[in-house]
Amino acid sequence: MGAASSSVNYISLSKAMSKALRHRPERLGITLAPDGSVKLQTLIDALNRRGGWPRELDEADVMHVVEHGTKQRFAVEDGRIRARYGHTVPLPITYERAEPPAILYHGTSPSSVDSILAEGLLPMDRKTVHLSVDIPTAKQVGARHGGRATVLLVDAAQASHDGITFYRGNDQTWLADRIPPQYLSVME
């Protein structure tokens, strides 16, 4: 395994990995297993075929993104890599159930608040609803398309008690299939 080189733009590599493992694997000519994983070497080979890198990528480059990515999007196990969350691919990807913190947060645009409070949080084009463990992260997520964010408080303890299933995405992100409106309130 070669040493990771600073000549590779790791932000671009992370985006390419996200596209391949979360959204459009067919664009790189790879097929994900039902759990959303692919052999690590298969991904590396596909990324190299795609091209646009200053040199041939190796396992150290991909592992640099896995280990140092601020959002912990990827997991490697037994020579296979997968995205932890954020999938839009039409696969029956399953997540491991977990007991959530008592309170979680969801950042969104102010224009979406009324419909969310009426219908609840729905996954929209993703497999799951994404929730944050703290207000700053929720604000950052909610403002990702520009503008300011409104933060919703999620009563995860009550929702979990009432049968809503939660999954741990990473240290900052929790997932749920949906969150009905009775568990939501707007942070003032």
- What is the enclosing helix (H) or strand (E) of 135? helix 135-142
Question: For position 119, what pLDDT does the model report?
Answer: 96
pLDDT in tens, 137-158: 899 888 876 778 999 999 999 9
DSSP string for 16-58: HHHIIIII-GGGGT----TTSEEEHHHHHHHHHHH--SSS---
pLDDT at 32 over 60: yes
- Of the pLDDT bands very low, low, confident and very high (cuts 50, 70, 90), residue 133 is very high
CATH number at 10-83: 1.10.10.970
Question: For position 2, what pLDDT does the model report?
Answer: 45
Question: For position 141, what pLDDT does the model report?
Answer: 84
pLDDT in tens, 75-127: 898 999 988 777 777 766 667 789 999 999 999 999 999 999 999 999 887 77
Residue 4 and residue 41: Cα distance in Å, rounded? 16
Residue 12 and residue 53: Cα distance in Å, rounded? 9
Question: Are 10-83 and 103-186 equal in CATH topology?
Answer: no
Q: What is the residue extent of each domain of the chain? A: 10-83, 103-186
pLDDT in tens, 39-62: 999 999 999 998 889 899 999 999
CATH number at 103-186: 3.20.170.30
